[in-house]
Amino acid sequence: MKRAPVTLRPANASDIEIFYTHQLDSVSTDLAKVYARSREAFDAHWDAILSNPNTIARTILYGDEVVGLINTFPVKDERHIGYWIDRAHWGRGIASCAIARMVEVDPPRPLHAVVAIDNVGSMKALERSGFVRIGEEHSGETERYMACVVVRFELR
């Protein structure tokens, strides 16, 4: 595993601008099979995250630089993990390190992840922290998500 000086700190309102620019990248949205949020929708989404005591939001630092985000949050009766790395920093082990640290920040199990089937990097990063595949299914198009097959992961 590549070593990277990756740390997490609590996300705050001053990070929203850079998170917004990261999620506009079309290579990233095509990989994650999501549609980028408008500025208004993104601000509302982050207002909700930062005011929800059941969501843990962390900013990913690579050295001193903000390079992404990682969150754990409730979905119905499950707890999920999600993350996004600035494309300029892909392939440096940052997602792998951030997931490994985040699963220590939020210890209750199981923890779930849902990944578009072509998102090989995301799946590899999850498996490195012990997530296992528990199934796959077709996921229909929504305002946020592109239609695709998704793989469900669980950390027990």
Ligand X SMILES: CC(C)(COP(=O)(O)OP(=O)(O)OC[C@H]1O[C@@H](n2cnc3c(N)ncnc32)[C@H](O)[C@@H]1OP(=O)(O)O)[C@@H](O)C(=O)NCCC(=O)NCCS
**In the complex, which residues of this chain contact ligand X (CB under 6 A)?**
28, 31-32, 83-85, 90-96, 115, 119-122, 124-125
Radius of gyration of the chain (CA): 15
Closest CB to ligand X among 51 and 127? 127
The CB-of-35 to ligand X minimum distance in angstroms stands at 13
Coil, helix or strand at residue 121? helix
Smallest gap, in angstroms, from Cβ of residue 115 to ligand X?
A: 4
Q: What is the nearest approach in angstroms of ligand X to the Cβ of residue 61?
A: 13
Closer residue to ligand X (CB): 53 or 55 = 55
C-alpha–C-alpha distance, residues 144 and 141, integer Å: 8
| Smaller CB separation from ligand X, 51 or 153 | 153
Query: Token digits for 110?
Result: 């199981």
Percentages helix, strand, coil for the chain, rounded to the nearest 5?
Answer: 35, 35, 30
Q: In the bound complex, which residue of the shown chain has the CB atom lying closest to ligand X?
A: 121
Q: What is the spatial distance between Cα 141 and Cα 156, in angstroms, rounded to a whole number? A: 29
Task: Tell me the C-alpha distance between 48 and 115, whole Å.
Answer: 23
Q: Which amino acid is at 76?
A: K
Considering the complex, what minimum distance in angstroms separates the CB of residue 50 from ligand X? 20
93 or 111: whose CB is closer to ligand X? Answer: 93
CA 75 to chain centre: 14
